[in-house]
A and B are shown apart, each in its own frame.
Chain A
Amino acid sequence: MRFHLLILTVFLYVIQGVAQNKQLLYGLQEVPQNLLINPGAKVTFKKHYGIPFLSQFHINGGSSGVTVFDIFGESNVDINTRIRNKIFDLENTDFFTATQQLNILDFGWKSKQDIYFSAGIYEELDFIAYFPKDLAILAFEGNRDYLGYNFNFNDVSVTADLLTVYHFGANKKISDKLTVGGRFKIYNSLFNVRSVNNSGTFTTSVVEGTNNIYEHNFNDIDVVVNTSGLIAYEDFEGSVVSKTASRAILSGNFGFGVDLGGTYDITEKLSASASILDLGAIFHTKDVENYSATGSYKLDGIELLFPPLDVNELTFDYYTDLDEEIQREIVRDTTAASYTQLRPTKLNGALTYSFGRPLGSGVCDCLNMDGSVTTNQSVGIQVYTIFRPRRPQMAVTAFYYRKLFRFLAAKATITADSYSYNNVGLAAVADIGKFNFYIAADNLLEYGNLAKANSISLQLGFNIKIDN
């Protein structure tokens, strides 16, 4: 029970609209991993080496429409009533999501041609499950009070991915105003589970003139679950850890993708930037197992025929016959057919206005090697979109950036998305000598009581950064 509670808690915690929105890191030039969000960001350093396994850790999770407090908060209302009320409050577009990224290797250097190359390996976990409202009602309430109602299998929409990403990027300031960059990625999928675009309905209805009291109708059922990587562990008797480690390097299920981005200085103080990330796909060809159920069936019940029987003669095997008939009509199949999975592509955009005290001057402008950060403060607006199975999720962020001290910068954000208009986040980056450390967290207003948060997100990392 404790374990289930933990799982439920994690699900209920995580983020609310916009998994993988790294609004705090976007545009934060002091952080080398900013290049993973916009490969065309301005680069203000000559080299960086991410501390292996520590250069970026990102975790983020949430649920739209429900919080831990909604279910487990102190209340006089019975917990089952609260759950029931929530089931009816939530829509099938509400979702539970969890994402996590861990940079294993990350490094970059500026070439003699002033191209900043960066490369590395990161691990990513991405999960999203839409709330299957109809099936939740069916499970929680049954069908008694829903005669004639079409319970829709379209509500089932889940994807889960665990992958390692090998990437190599290049970034160049191609004019005084424009910096562009791109990143090529090879995806190595450890496992994928996907069930999207399902269809069909289940209906119990009273129809006059039929054989029995009800008609139970399964209409045009088309439910598919694709999996890859999971059967690699079936009947496997060795060490799961070492097998996972070897699959993390080379699983046999590969994909390719690109990130593109750019930053354009419209005026001295106004700049615009944009990026598109994970424009690509994974081709699942190995350790694939797909399950499907398709067809229609009308269930009347069991008709007894009362055949005249001799002593010890058995009657018809009604139940088995019915079971076989259902299986004939709603065909269940397991295949190993390859499938292609599009990556959840993300779009970022920002408009930044810089102001305040100019930073650095004189012969050696160590804080501002390429002249990109000219002042110690900026404000701006950012937009973010991630393409999800049911529909894109969007967010808008307003931010304020300030270089607090020579070695410390901070960025504050307020983000609005479909469900929340007051997600306040704060990031801090410290450059102490060559040592670069950053931490960023959002939904800070909810930290007083995380139970009330729809989402939380935390990123932190350590790098060695060489400015000259």
Chain B
Amino acid sequence: MRKLFQVTCLGIFAFALLISCVKDTNFDNAEEIAITPVVEANFVFFNFNGSDFFDSQNNIPRLVVRDTTEIKFFDDGGFQDGLKRVEFFFKYTNSIPRNFDVTYRFLSAVNDTTLTFQNSVNAGTNINEVITESTRNIEGAEVTNLTMSNKVVVIVTIPSADQNLAGALKLQSKGTFYLEF
């Protein structure tokens, strides 16, 4: 009888361990967990001299110049799923006495245009560098268009140029990527 009592004591102790519980918690909250980093990253940059807009070999102006680069991560699956908004920021420093148009055309892998926008750059003077800043907000359907692209064509247009065109045009740019996973 005494042994039975003692074994019972031991049993109660073991039972106490087993009845331990987790309470006042809501694990359904896990569905709401979202990681929302905001990433600042450099984008493209360029440096032109005024003379770059004149083909001295053929003695003709180059009124439209263009270049292309791949941006392979834009159409990456994870990026496509996570990207909610992008804010592109462009800073032009211009001492060429001309206005410029700069067009950004995003292309898919099969070279379909998915998104296009344009900046107007104010003319500078040989004495003063004029700074033009432009922000382009991409959200909603445009985000989808952006993430279908994997390259960007940058087209710089100058209304007129000659071999004596002096000054420089400089672009600095960045993207602010709002992500959610």
Q: Give the complex CA separation of A467 and B29 in angstroms.
A: 55
Which residues from chain B contact A450 at a C-beta distance below 8 Å?
A: 20-22
Q: Is the CB of A142 within 8 A of B30?
A: no
Q: Give the complex CA separation of A216 and B39 in angstroms.
A: 12
* A408-B24 contact given A211-B172, A318-B70, A319-B72, CB 8 Å threshold: no
Q: Is the CB of A144 within 8 A of B39?
A: yes
Which of A139, A147, A212, A299 lies in contact with B173, CB distance below 8 A?
A212
Q: Is A80 an interface residue (CB 8 A)?
A: yes
Which residues from chain B contact A311 at a C-beta distance below 8 Å?
A: none
Q: Is the CB of A212 within 8 A of B39?
A: no
Which residues from chain B contact A199 at a C-beta distance below 8 Å?
A: none
Q: Is A250 an interface residue (CB 8 A)?
A: no
Q: Which of B44-52, B111-119, B137-145, B157-165 contacts A (4 or more CB under 8 A)?
A: B44-52
Q: Is the CB of B45 within 8 A of A304?
A: yes
Q: Is A248 an interface residue (CB 8 A)?
A: no
> What is the count of residue pairs linking A and B with beta-carbon distances less than 8 angstroms?
153
Q: Which of A67-75, A95-103, A271-279, A394-402 contacts B (4 or more CB under 8 A)?
A: A67-75
Q: Is the CB of B25 within 8 A of A147?
A: no
Which of B34, B41, B67, B177 lies in contact with A305, CB distance below 8 A?
B67
* A5-B22 contact given A139-B37, A315-B67, CB 8 Å threshold: no
Q: Is A451 an interface residue (CB 8 A)?
A: yes
List A residues 63-101 near B (Cβ within 8 Å): 68-69, 71-74, 78-80, 83
Q: Give the complex CA separation of A439 and B177 in angstroms.
A: 54
Which residues from chain A contact B46 at a C-beta distance below 8 Å?
A: 303-306
Chain B proximity mask over A273-291: 1 for CB below 8 Å, otherwise 0:
0000000000000000000
Q: Is the CB of A439 within 8 A of B67?
A: no
Q: Is A366 an interface residue (CB 8 A)?
A: no
* A69-B25 contact given A80-B33, A304-B67, A318-B70, CB 8 Å threshold: yes
- The smallest C-beta distance from B6 to any residue of chain A, in angstroms, reads 5
Which residues from chain A contact B9 at a C-beta distance below 8 Å?
A: 408
Classify chain A: how many residues form its interface, as a range. Answer: 35 or more
Which residues from chain B contact A1 at a C-beta distance below 8 Å?
A: 30-31
Q: Is the CB of B173 within 8 A of A73?
A: no
Q: Give the complex CA separation of A76 and B52 in angstroms.
A: 62
Q: Give the complex CA separation of A303 and B46 in angstroms.
A: 5
- The smallest C-beta distance from A300 to any residue of chain B, in angstroms, reads 6
Which of B32, B44, B47, B67 lies in contact with A80, CB distance below 8 A?
B32
Instruction: Identify 27 residue pairs between A and B in the complex whose beta-carbon atoms are under 8 Å apart, listed by A's number.
Output: A73-B25, A79-B30, A79-B32, A80-B36, A83-B33, A142-B179, A144-B39, A212-B173, A213-B172, A213-B174, A214-B41, A301-B45, A302-B44, A302-B45, A303-B44, A304-B45, A306-B52, A307-B67, A315-B67, A317-B70, A408-B9, A439-B13, A439-B17, A447-B16, A447-B17, A448-B20, A450-B20
Q: A72-B25, A147-B40, A213-B174 given; name 4 further pairs at CB < 8 Å.
A: A80-B32, A211-B172, A212-B172, A448-B21
